[in-house]
Structure 1
Amino acid sequence: MRLRHPGGTPLHLSYCTNVHAAEDLDGIIDQLDAYAVPIRARLGTDVLGLGLWLAAPVAAALAADPALRARLRRELTARGLEVVTLNGFPYRSFQDPVVKHAVYRPDWTTRERLTYTLDLALVLADLLPDDAACGSVSTLPLAWREPWDAARADLAARRLDRLSAGLAAVESATGRVIRVGFEPEPGCVVETTAQAVARLAGLDGDRLGVCLDLAHLACAWEDPAAALKELGRAGLRVVKVQLSAALESADPDALRPYAEPRFLHQTRNPEGGAADDLDEAFDRRLPGPWRVHYHVPLHVTPPAPLATTVPVMRAALAELVGGPRPLCDHFDVETYTWGVLPPALRPETPAQLAAGIAAELDFARAELHDLGVTS
């Protein structure tokens, strides 16, 4: 959706399609009709933004064939849809029965990760609306924390230099600016704001920055205002913001229904206690309260003693858009866990999922309106 900051800057609000399983072009187009078109109708907006997820094989096919890119853009335009951001974190198979640590492979020590990300940048340059200032691609925070050593860090640094050069080449060829944001996440080489500064400061600040996922920020028990100030002092641009909420509970036992086999649910407490998944947190009897990397629908208030980190999201938005100029212009609602929610919350049909995503987007739009952003 197109929004406008009080200072006049256009803002883009979208939803991330990594919640859908399609990994070929025909399947992606089918999902536009099954989900995006009904969502746009429910929201009553002329244009709906998508944070499109393209698995590596379809990204490679699109990057290799301008006619395919033109077809995808036509299909989007015909449905009142637009794309200014891509999610380049999951490489493929993100809705498989078991994902867990596989989502972090291949990482930024590999040629495959570099190739995939530059494929996405080239595709996005052709999908961008003519009046969009730039495009963004989110990616993983270098790698899972193990194994990681000086040799792997050096290899990743060389890949990032090639990424910067590749993005410059895309800009030279297409006239479109594409930026890549590294997404701090619990358990990874870059988990916290301090680690982002340590690992990423000094990179090409025009093209490389941070994708700020607000559920991840909350799981790190970070203060949004302090985090954004630290990123600003280091010269790290917030390329993209993922609007997401994590689970929270002072009574860890209330979280047992959310332990499930597909995704990793890193768990943290405010004293620095950490577990890489909910099952591990239960086994270790990690003291509460817990925040859990489990993206829950923004508009849903779970029964006590459960809560969500929407207050952290709200505080972050106040910092991001509350000043005379926004600190970011791409906002993507990223709840990919609809299919693994407890049965009482889980949508059973495409129509129910579309209704849930529309409700999230409406919630996010209302939060931005409360800060003076207009439609």
Structure 2
Amino acid sequence: MRFRHPDGSVVHLAYCTNVHPAEDLEGVIAQLDGCSSLVRKNLDVPVLGVGLWLAHTLAERLATSPIALNRLAQALERNGLEVVTLNGFPYAGFHDQVVGKKVYRPDWTEAARLDYTLDLVQVLGDLLPADAAYGSISTLPLAWRTPWTKARDDQARRAFDKLDEHLAGVETRTGRRIRVAIEPEPGCVLEMIPQAAHWLSPYAASQGPGSYAGPPGAGPSAGQSRLGVCLDTCHLAVQFEEPAEAFAVLADARVDIVKSQVSAALQVADPSDPAARELLKEFAEPKFLHQTREYGGAGVDDLDLVDELSGREAWRVHFHVPVHAAPRAPLASTTDVLLESLGELVGGPHPRTHHLESETYTWSVLPAGPKNQYELAEGIAGELAWLRDRLTALGLEEIR
């Protein structure tokens, strides 16, 4: 879905396909022909954006096989789908029975992570619509927080330096601008915006050669650096970061928001309420990590550890819940943080990013979640319709 910002630039809205389990080409094409096509039809839009997740084996195949890439491109075209962004965070096995901390491996100290990302750069450059100002790839915030040393940080820095050089070369050779975005996440080396801003500051547009002024009419903050932040509004909320402060930190550091995953976290206003604790048990599932933070206090790495928290202040849980449907009371979601962030992202005179992505990958583990692809498509379409309404309320015009 595309929207015209009042400044004349285009803002893209997509849904992330990491909600689907397929890891080979045949499976990905089937999900595009199936659920993705249904989402587009439910929304009644001519073109739907999909933020593709490609496992590393498929990314390598697509990067080296024009025939395989053409099959994927044909599937996108026949279903009225376009790709301006990829989710390069999970490497493989994102729908294993237990994912947990495996999602953070390989990390940015390992050569496999850079190789995977370079394959994604190749694929996205080939799939990117001709009129798109840039393509974006989100990636993990270096690694899980332990073990982490100065030596490992130096390794990650060298990998990002190579990535930045490669992206510059791609742009010179092809004229296509591909940008990579670190996604801060609770429990990782870079879990909060100030940490990410500090680590990324050497790559800010004002710091090095080859800075980019952005597409015509896009405004001063759009598309300048090749490396920046993917701001996930669920993660921002879990850490109890104030959106206005987070955006100010990024602006001061001149670190671009390359893309934003517009999502909501689970919120427990009063953890001492027995009804809330009972409902919360329904979300304590073993597949994904659900990092939990207590306002003004400590945090734990999963929901089964919350008894270690005091319970005297509100909790927020890293569980992506549908943005358009609140959980059963007394639980709630952090849509207020999402709405404030949307205003900061695209409500000003110029967008702070041109790529928005709905990333509710947890439909399969939600209490009373969808039972088939038709119900899943309805849920995804409901989220995108809710976001569309909020974008138009901010003054953006849907392009049909």
Length-normalised TM-score, structure 2: 0.91
Amino acid at match of 2:109: T
- Give secondary structure in 2 for the equivalent of 1:53: coil
Residue 272 of structure 1 corresponds to 297
Residue 78 of structure 1 corresponds to 78
Q: Deviations over 1:29-66 (max 9, x none)?
A: 00011111111011010000000000000000011122
Kept in 2, the 8 Å contact 1:244–1:333? The answer is yes
For residues 165 and 197 of structure 1, the distance between their equivalents in structure 2, rounded to whole angstroms, comes to 20
Residue 261 (1) aligns with residue 286 (2): yes
For residues 262 and 111 of structure 2, the distance between their equivalents in structure 1, rounded to whole angstroms, comes to 30
Which of 298, 302, 324 pairs up with 1:299?
324
- Give secondary structure in 2 for the equivalent of 1:138: strand
Q: Deviations over 1:99-157 (max 9, x none)?
A: 00000000000100001011001100000011000000000001110000100000100
Residue 347 (1) aligns with residue 366 (2): no
Cα deviation for residue 297 of structure 1 reads 0.6
Residue 336 of structure 1 corresponds to 361
Residue 153 of structure 2 corresponds to 153
Q: Deviations over 1:178-201 (max 9, x none)?
A: 000000000001011111122221
Which of 238, 241, 252 pairs up with 1:219?
238
Cα deviation for residue 304 of structure 1 reads 1.6
Residue 239 of structure 1 corresponds to 258
Identity %: 55
Residue 184 (1) aligns with residue 187 (2): no
For residues 96 and 281 of structure 1, the distance between their equivalents in structure 2, rounded to whole angstroms, comes to 24
Amino acid at match of 1:237: D
Cα deviation for residue 72 of structure 1 reads 1.4
Residue 372 of structure 1 corresponds to 395
Residue 219 of structure 2 corresponds to none
Kept in 2, the 8 Å contact 1:273–1:286? The answer is no
Q: How does 1:48-67 map to 2 (within 5 A)?
A: 48-67=48-67
Cα deviation for residue 13 of structure 1 reads 0.4
For residues 354 and 308 of structure 2, the distance between their equivalents in structure 1, rounded to whole angstroms, comes to 41
Cα deviation for residue 266 of structure 1 reads 0.4
- Give secondary structure in 2 for the equivalent of 1:180: strand
For residues 290 and 224 of structure 1, the distance between their equivalents in structure 2, rounded to whole angstroms, comes to 18
Which of 306, 330, 335 pairs up with 1:310?
335
Q: How does 1:192-207 map to 2 (within 5 A)?
A: 192-203=192-203, 205=205, 206-207=225-226
Q: Deviations over 1:203-251 (max 9, x none)?
A: 2542100000000000111111110111011011000000100000123
For residues 185 and 53 of structure 1, the distance between their equivalents in structure 2, rounded to whole angstroms, comes to 18
Which deviates further from its counterpart, 252-261 or 206-215? 252-261
Amino acid at match of 1:159: A
Cα deviation for residue 284 of structure 1 reads 4.7
Amino acid at match of 1:247: L
Amino acid at match of 1:312: V
For residues 54 and 288 of structure 1, the distance between their equivalents in structure 2, rounded to whole angstroms, comes to 39
- Give secondary structure in 1 for the equivalent of 2:83: strand
Amino acid at match of 2:174: T
For residues 272 and 164 of structure 1, the distance between their equivalents in structure 2, rounded to whole angstroms, comes to 37
Unaligned runs of 5+ in 1: none
Unaligned runs of 5+ in 2: 206-224, 272-276
Amino acid at match of 1:274: G
Amino acid at match of 2:240: W
- Give secondary structure in 1 for the equivalent of 2:318: strand
- Computed over aligned residues only, the root mean square deviation of the Cα atoms, in angstroms, reads 1.1
Kept in 1, the 8 Å contact 2:134–2:179? The answer is yes
Kept in 1, the 8 Å contact 2:321–2:360? The answer is yes
Residue 215 of structure 2 corresponds to none
Amino acid at match of 2:331: L
Amino acid at match of 1:365: R
- Give secondary structure in 1 for the equivalent of 2:203: coil
- Give secondary structure in 1 for the equivalent of 2:144: coil
- Give secondary structure in 2 for the equivalent of 1:369: helix
Q: Deviations over 1:258-280 (max 9, x none)?
A: 10000000000111311010111
Residue 360 (1) aligns with residue 379 (2): no
Length-normalised TM-score, structure 1: 0.97
